[in-house]
């Protein structure tokens, strides 16, 4: 049974909030202001603090016990997404937006939580301030990506089981976009750590162009999923909002720089391919490797031309235009050493008219099998002009 109580121990509550990433670094007087607005709730084993689909009116900080976050999945059953313990925050993303709860929060044992209402939280953030609006945008992106992650991971596990593969070993492949005049594909090998440190996505621009973007975390890895998800969400949202590919990475870079978490230094390496007529635009932020292979056997490697996203404010990340003749191919790789990349280029040069999806699969296997490669950064983009 869920019961509410007034917070009777502000000093203990402040001590708990100091452990929460959301409040980390706040001075004591500001923490006390937060605590004065918070209420307490108690729950027993199996009690649900909120249900998936409920309207969000508060977020929670665990002060005793533990709470598991679970989500209903297609086909029945539920997926455990996380367990929140003392000092952990949950329910904050839905609070920033007028959206139903993404998942269910259920106590696994006797527990207590501090709660803060939507109205009080917005007062603390300064009402309709720029910081609050930016947090809402990022929250929407993270929420959409979270829904996609759960659905995709479940589908991949079911597919792997049907094929006789070990769940979790399946490659992160999905249907590539259709681009007139080009055969394209992308893939991200699953990390051995179980945490996504690289990713790829397709981008659709308002002028009709389609792009592929590869992302890889660079720097402090705590917490890695957040920065990758935010960057991925910003790329998708800005492209749909009208930002052209020529300035997309610069826009994302400035947004990440302005909202960089103080608790960890994290940057994201990014590479973007945008096919158009007889050429491809290549934009690179950081150390992603890109090579174009010509039908006459020659190849050109395009070195990095800018720092990772979020590291330097105002950097333009201007794209390079790569002319493409029939049969020319482009390979982008986010992980592995220079030697591993050269080996992948040599392998691709011998694959001829092999479909793009199969090329990506072969490169993934080669990179993951190489002793010198980093399997946590094995995202591949491949493109061939017809």
Are residue 212 and residue 288 in the same domain, yes or no?
Answer: yes
Per-residue pLDDT at 96 exceeds 70? no
Number of domains comprising the chain: 2
Domain contains 50: yes
For 206-235, write each residue's pLDDT tens digit: 999 999 999 887 654 444 456 777 888 889
Mean pLDDT within 300-310: 80
Give the pLDDT score at 150: 46
Domain contains 80: yes
Domain contains 297: yes
Mean pLDDT within 302-330: 87
Domain contains 154: no
Are residue 283 and residue 359 in the same domain, yes or no?
Answer: yes
Cis peptide before 180 (omega within 30 of 0): no
Give the structural domain span for 307.
171-385
Domain contains 292: yes
Domain contains 280: yes
Are residue 252 and residue 106 in the same domain, yes or no?
Answer: no
Domain contains 158: no
DSSP E strands: which ranges in the chain? 3-6, 39-43, 48-50, 58-64, 67-72, 78-84, 89-90, 104-107, 111-117, 172-173, 182-188, 198-204, 210-219, 266-276, 279-285, 289-293, 299-302, 320-323, 329-333, 379-385
Show which of 103, 132, 161 is a domain's final residue. 132
Which CATH number fits the domain that encloses residue 178? 3.60.40.10
Sequence-ordered list of residues with C-beta below 8 angstroms from that of 242, at least 6 positions apart, any chain: 206
User: Of all residues in the chain, what percent carry a pLDDT higher than 90?
Assistant: 26
For 270-296, write each residue's pLDDT tens digit: 999 999 989 999 999 987 889 999 988
């Amino acid at each position: 049974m869920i019961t509410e109580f007034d917070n009777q121990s502000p000093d203990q509550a402040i001590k708990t909030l100091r452990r929460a990433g959301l409040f980390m670094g706040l001075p004591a007087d500001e923490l006390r202001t937060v605590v004065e607005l918070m209420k307490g709730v108690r729950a027993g084993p199996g009690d649900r603090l909120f249900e998936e689909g409920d309207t969000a009116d508060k977020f929670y900080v665990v002060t005793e016990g533990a709470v598991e976050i679970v989500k209903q999945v297609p086909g029945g059953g539920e997926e455990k997404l996380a367990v929140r313990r003392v000092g952990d925050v949950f329910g904050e993303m839905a609070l920033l937006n007028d959206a139903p709860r993404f998942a269910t929060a259920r106590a696994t044992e006797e527990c207590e939580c501090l709660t803060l209402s939507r109205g009080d939280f917005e007062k603390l953030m300064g009402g309709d301030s720029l910081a609050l609006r930016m947090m809402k945008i990022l929250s929407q992106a993270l929420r959409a990506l979270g829904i996609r992650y759960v659905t995709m991971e479940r589908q991949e596990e079911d597919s792997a089981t049907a094929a006789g593969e070990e769940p979790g070993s399946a490659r992160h492949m999905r249907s590539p976009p259709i681009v007139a005049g080009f055969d394209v594909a992308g893939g991200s090998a699953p990390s051995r750590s179980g945490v996504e440190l690289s990713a790829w996505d397709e981008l659709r621009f308002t002028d009709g162009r389609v792009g592929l973007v590869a992302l890889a975390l660079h720097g402090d890895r705590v917490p890695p999923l957040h920065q990758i998800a935010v960057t991925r969400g910003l790329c998708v949202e800005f492209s749909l909002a009208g930002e052209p590919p020529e300035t997309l990475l610069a826009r994302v870079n400035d947004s990440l720089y302005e909202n960089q978490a103080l608790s960890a230094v994290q940057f994201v390496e990014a590479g973007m391919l945008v096919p158009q007529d007889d050429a491809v635009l290549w934009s690179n932020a950081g150390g992603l490797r890109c090579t174009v292979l010509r039908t006459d056997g020659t190849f050109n490697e395009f070195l990095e031309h800018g720092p990772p996203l979020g590291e330097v404010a105002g950097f333009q990340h201007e794209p390079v235009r790569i002319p493409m003749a029939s049969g020319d191919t482009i390979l982008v790789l986010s992980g592995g050493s220079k030697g591993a990349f050269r080996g992948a280029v040599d392998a691709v040069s011998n694959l001829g008219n092999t479909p793009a999806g199969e090329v990506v699969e072969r490169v993934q296997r080669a990179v993951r099998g190489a002793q010198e490669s980093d399997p946590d950064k094995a995202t591949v983009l491949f493109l061939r002009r017809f």
